[in-house]
Amino acid sequence: MAGTQNIGESSDNPVAVNVVAMVDVIFCLCIFFMCSFHFKQIEGKIDSHLPKDRGLDNTPVSNIVKDEIRVILRWDPGSNTTLRKVKGHEYAGSDEELVAAICGMRDNYEQEGKTDWPLTIDAEREVPWEQVIHVMDLCKQNRIERIEFGAPEREIERIPPPT
């Protein structure tokens, strides 16, 4: 009667293995290795801070800063380029011209003893973020740390004054 035994009977596997404990150990090892991996950071960090001296708060602002360097970024759909200029100056054709205009205004403020001024980036929606970040990088390279973002002045001018 050698051929009467079925596959899977106790005579085929004389050692009893606790499968639940093995699955539990393998699951714990998977969790351990998943937690121990250090994933590569894909995106960089941009230091940006919201202004604390203005906004929706109803308390009056004690120190209003009126001196600023405003970098205006506009998108030209005809040439698919970003037009860049410092407020009060002509459009800059290169990075060097833009930096020269920014540094010139910074030097004027320093000569007048003004130290509390921001550089405000005024960019339209259509301007690629790559261009905005490039202007931020140029400012950081030239030791300008206080960088803010402002709403485009054209949109501000269209809003009627409150009555």
CATH of residue 149's domain is 3.30.420.270
pTM above 0.85, yes or no: no
Q: Across-strand partners of 82? A: 75
**Spatial contact of 105 and 78, defined as CB atoms under 8 Å apart:** no
Domain assignment of residue 82, yes or no? yes
**Inside any domain, residue 99:** yes
pLDDT (tens digit, 9 = 90+) per residue, 112-159?
Answer: 888 888 888 988 888 899 999 999 999 899 888 888 888 776 554 444
Amino acid of residue 86? V
Report the C-alpha gap between 85 and 71 in whole angstroms: 6
Mean pLDDT of 22-46: 81
Query: How many structural domains compose the chain?
Result: 1
Residue 126 Rama label (left phi>0; alpha psi -120 to 50; beta): alpha
> What percentage of residues in the chain have a pLDDT greater than 90?
10
> Is residue 122, in this structure, part of any structural domain at all?
yes
Q: Is residue 153 in a domain? A: yes
Mean pLDDT is lowest, of 48-57, 89-98, 113-122, for 48-57
Tell me if 132 is assigned to some domain: yes
- Quote the domain boundaries for residue 113: 69-158
Domain-embedded: residue 95: yes
